[in-house]
Amino acid sequence: MKVRLLDIAHARSGDKGDTANVGVIALKPEWYPVLAKHLTLDRVVSHFRDVIEGGVERYELPNLRALNFLLHGALDGGGTLSLKTDAQGKVYSTAMLRLVLDVPDAEARAAGLPAWNGK
């Protein structure tokens, strides 16, 4: 089953130099294990491959039902050097939430995940 991150998580992003951080938080506590299992480093690297220039780091915060991603080379040099509208990475949060996960049907039904039927 396809599950869009926007439907199961919320997020906030910020900057540190040329790195954007995106914290992704499960909308319901019982959905955190789905995030932890399926929102892998590889999925995020692939999602942002045409957007950022550097690598990605991934951290788990089960206490907050959250994952934290560091997207390196994401801000056109960052800070005052950047020419981007989003020089401080404020809306990488919702760019992340466009990501669509493939969750096995049984697992998705057991967790009560909403299905994504878009393109």
- Chain residues that interact with another protein, rule: CB under 8 A: 10-19, 21, 23, 25, 27, 47-48, 50-51, 57, 59-66, 68, 70, 76-81, 83-86, 91, 93-95, 98
Residues whose CB is less than 8 angstroms from the CB of residue 118 and which lie 6 or more positions away in sequence, other chains included:
4
Per-residue CA distances from 36 to 59, 68, 86, 106 (Å) = 10, 11, 27, 17
Residue closer to another protein by CB (options 34, 95) is: 95
In the block, tokens 């466009």 appear at 98
Residue closer to another protein by CB (options 62, 104) is: 62
Residue 94 phi, psi dihedral angles, 5° rounding: -80, -25
Residue closer to another protein by CB (options 14, 114) is: 14
Least Å distance, CB 39 to another protein, is 14
* Distance from C-alpha of 19 to C-alpha of 56, rounded to nearest angstrom: 9
Could you give the count of Cα atoms lying within 13 Å of 80 in the half-sphere of its Cβ? 0
Least Å distance, CB 115 to another protein, is 20
Least Å distance, CB 88 to another protein, is 9
Least Å distance, CB 106 to another protein, is 28
